[in-house]
Structures are given as structure tokens and as C-alpha cells.
Chain A
Amino acid sequence: MTQTSGRRLTMHQKQNLWGWLFLIPATALIFWLSFYPMIRALMISFQGGRPTALTWSDPLTRNYQFLTKDKVFIQSLKNTFTYLIIQVPIMLVLAMIFATLLNDHLLKFKGIFRTCIFLPCATALVAYSLIFRTMFSYDGMVNAVLMKIGILDAPINWLNSPNTAKAVIIIALIWRWTGYNMIFYLSSMQSIDYSVYEAARIDGAGAATQLFKITIPLLKPIILVTAIMSTNGTLQLFDESVNLTKGGPANATITMSHYIYNTMFQKNPNFGYAAAMSFVILILVAILSAIQMKVGDKRE
């Protein structure tokens, strides 16, 4: 009997070993290329000097102190939060509306509508940035069409005034990502038993009641996931700022990632300061996610 259990243990141990073997390459890569650099970034954020000869700052928190006085950084922080506060809620509400409409079993051409609304996701961020830049240029198509229809008397300089430039970025972001979020909602809705809705309808519940009393409470976990993902993504916006507006006019649309990139690759690169700014993003992502999880939990 001892022998059998002993043999079983060896087989179990063998399998256990195989399990570790299977997951070690992936795990090692993540520790090497994600966690280790994170610790390095924290260290570098306390350093200064040329990239090839970084030395500890004096005082140590010099980079972080400079953040509070750096007008461009504060501007990039404000811009990023403007995008976050305006774009994410509009996008998620729109995605929820689309998903609700497309989840109707009586709706025809569902597949075509879904494909169309999901299609922007297939576009590279650089590609759609350039398309929107071209569409909204001063002598461009949007102005030409709006003037032809008679909505505008004179062309708007979309990309050269701070507010309209931000608006174009927000419109572009909503265009690119609404379908993506819709897919999350739609596939979660499809796992809700449709008879629940039919029963609610018989009880006289309207579309709005169904949405707020059935769909949204059941979809809360996925709403939380999309909110965290969108927040995380918006705090890291880069391609749009670089290619759609080039951060301009006068840094009015520059994002934090764009500024970090510039700090890394300008004439006098400052890796320590770039690392300090990137750590601010890390902390912001952590704080905002924590808040969202807290809020998401409370409504339970």
C-alpha cells in the first residue's frame, strides 16, 4: 500500500514538474520584460544626467519636484484627463446603446450592423489618425462639405485651435473604440437568457426599465472591465497625439506618453525625468482602477 501511494506521488510530482516546465518560458519573459523594468523605472526616476551615464539625483526626488513646475507636463496631464472624462463615458454609453439595440431578436440585418460598427477596430491607430487629420485639415474635406451644405460660412481651423483639436481627437477615439466595447457588452448580453426579457415585457417593463433593471446589473462586471481598460488605454494615448495633431497647437493636445517619448528622444534626452513621468502614469492607472473596482463593488 505504501508502495502504491508512493508511486502515485511520483506521478503527481512528475506532472507537477511538467506543469512548471510549460509555464516557465511565458512567466520568465513577463518577469524579465515587465516586472524587472518596472523596478528599474522606479530607480531611474531618481536619477539624472546623460542616458549613458545616469547618476543619482540630488536631492533624490528632484525629477518628481520638477514635475510640479513643468508647464508642459501639467498641460499633458490636463489634456489626458480631458480625453478621459469626456470620451470614455460617451463611448461606453454609446457602446451600451448599440449592444442593446443589436441584442433584439426581432432586429433584421443584425450581422451587417455589427460588422459595420465593429469595423473601425481593424484600422491601425496611425492609419485612422492620418485619415482624420486629412479629413479635418483646414482646406480639407469636412470643411468643404460643411460649407457646401451651408452649415458653415467660413472654414474652421479644426486642428489649430485648442478646443476643436481636442474635439477631433475625442471624435476619432470614439469612432475607433465604440465598436470594440460594444462587442464585450453584446457577447455578455447574449449569455443572458432571452426569456428574462420576454417575461419583463409581459410584465409591462419598457426598454429603459429592461436596460436599467436587467441588463446593466447583470453586465456590471463587464462594464467594470471595459471602464478599467478604457481608462488604462486613455492614460497611455500616444499614436493619436503624435500623428493626428502632433501635440499642437502649442501642446494643447499633447498626451503624457507623447511628452515622455519627446523627453526620451529630444536633443538632450532625459531618461530620469521620462521615467519619473511614466511612473506617474503607473500610479494613476493603479489609483483609478482601484476607485473603479470600489465603486463597482458598492453597487452590488
Chain B
Amino acid sequence: MALKSSPVVFGLLARLSRRSFSTSKALASKPVTVRDALNQAIDEEMEKDERVFVMGEEVAQYDGAYKVTRGLWKKYGDKRVIDTPITEIGFAGIAVGAAFGGLRPICEFMTFNFSMQAIDHIINSAAKTYYMSGGQIPVPIVFRGPNGAASGVGAQHSQCFGAWYSHCPGLKVVMPFSSEDHKGLMKASIRVNDPVVFLEDEILYGIPFPMSDEALSPDFVLPIGKAKVEREGKHITVVCAGRATDTALQAANELAGNGIECEVINLRSLRPLDFDAIARSVAKTHHLVTVEQGWPQSGIGAEICARVMESSTFFELDAPAWRVTGADVPMPYASSLEVLALPRPKDVTAAVAAVLGNKISEAASQ
């Protein structure tokens, strides 16, 4: 399974970085790309623990299809950075077996689209064996790779698996946004004894985010299951994760100009989901919009709305919550349509305006 269009992607990256991503201004000391933050995290954990190893397609001499494992093969050799034949079902199975055998594999999918070929190992074996063995056999694996839409790679290469994997008990599902998120959460994912699905984003790899000295230190770890308030605000809560966080932050910037203060919550982890952070924020803002790149039905936004309904947070709402999601179609190839199939800052500002103006039915009928 391999089809990637690096020139297109890098061209787009260049455009994107010119457009400048919304990056945290706080405590900025050094810009580090997401790719380097991931590389640093994996390197540090491999250094620390002999049992940690990386496997996947092109991860060794080639440095990984997206260069996340750059330099690791040179440093750790064939034994710990393993290029595999092109069989997702095979190397995901190998990773599960190696975890049964006492190692701590990091299993790279060239993109998560290809993980469908291996999903039986991820769900039926990795996620359930600890439970089925009566707690005798833990399965510490990180399944990682780019998830969601990149650019110009069509229906089969552009889809978000956040909702799919976060549906399953036994898995932890992480969807980081910034370099700090990627580093801290990757290290936590490698250390935890449960299987983790670590959903990265191809577009984010090349984006530099400022990283504090603390985040750059080898001791930096973030807890899995805790959301981060990326921007404080009092009028409306905008919940997002991964690259959708950028969309939300851009919208928030724009709305701030109109006097609307959004509180942007970057979930960081989809399972466990930090609902307390959402509830706290909604108790303050009384309005809620969710933003995700995945499809609407049974999605992350749907889950958040359901939890709001089932809890006292429901009574905090002054208006119905609304979801901003990817369009409910396979990703179109045409670049003009592709842009429209993903949430844009404009969609978020429209949703916020509708929720705050309590004009949901009007907006929805358009």
C-alpha cells in the first residue's frame, strides 16, 4: 500500500507555512516542527528503553515516508528500526506478537488509511487481549502515522480515523496538534502499557511551533486524557483536536475582531476524552461548537454532544450545540472541492455566529 505525492504535499506545506499556522505565543523559545518533535520523542524513548523499537514500511534507510524516523536507523541499527515488506496485516501482527513477547513496538503506518488492512490486529488482538487474558498479557504498542486529509490524494488517502478507533474500549487514541503535543504525548504513549493509536497529520509535520525549554527537555511528558485550553474566552466553547485546532484558532482570531471571545479546547486525546474540561468551559460560556475533519455521523462531535445531553452540562447550554465536520462524502479529488469538503475557519465562524445568534434552524436550512 503506497501512494503518496510528496511534491504536491511539500508544495502545499510551503504554501501553508507562508500562510502561517496559528501557533501558541506563550513561552515561545524555539520553533520546532512537528516532525522533529516526534523524532525527538521517539529517539529519547528508544535511548531510554532498549525494548522500544520502530517498524513499518520505509522507516529505516529511507528515514520514513514522511521522515519522522530520520536518523534513527543510523543510530539504532537494523535490530531496532525495521523495514518491513508491504503487508500492514503482517507487521501490525508482528507488532502485537512482539508486545506479547515483551517488547514495546512503535508500528508506523505510512498513513492510517492503510491501517484498515490491519484493523483486525489493532482491535481484535491489541485492544482486547489484556482483557481476554484476565489481565495476564498487556499489549504496549504505539500505532502511529499520518491520519486524515492531506492534499490532492483523493478518497482513499484522505480520511480521519479518530471516530473509528476511539469507538473501541481497550485502545487509547491520541490526536495531537502542536509540536509540544506531539512530543509529550508520543513519549507518554510509548511508556503506557496499553495499545495507543497515535493520529498524526501530514500537513502538520512541516509546521514549526514554538517549544518551551521545558518541552524540549527529555523529561517532558504530557498526560494522555487531558485536554488543553489553547485560547481562553467567555462567549463560546469550541472543541477540536489535531489539525482542526488550527481551523478553530483561526476562526477564533477572526471572531475576536468582532468582539466574540471563543474558548478553544484542544482535546489532545480522543479516548480517554476529557469531558470535564468541556463541561467546565461550557459552564462558563453556555455555548458549544465542535470542529473535526472526520465525517459527521457517529463522529467525535456526535459523541461530545451525546455526553452533554447525558450530563448536567445540558442545562448550562443557552442554545443547541452544533458540529462543524468534514462533508459527508468520500473526499473529492478536485482541489476546489477538497477545500470545501473540510472545515474552514469560515465554517467555524458561521457556526459560532449561528449558535450565538440562536439561529441554528435558519442556518441549517440553508
Question: Is A bound to B?
Answer: no
Which residues on B are within 8 Å of A, measured CB to CB?
A: none
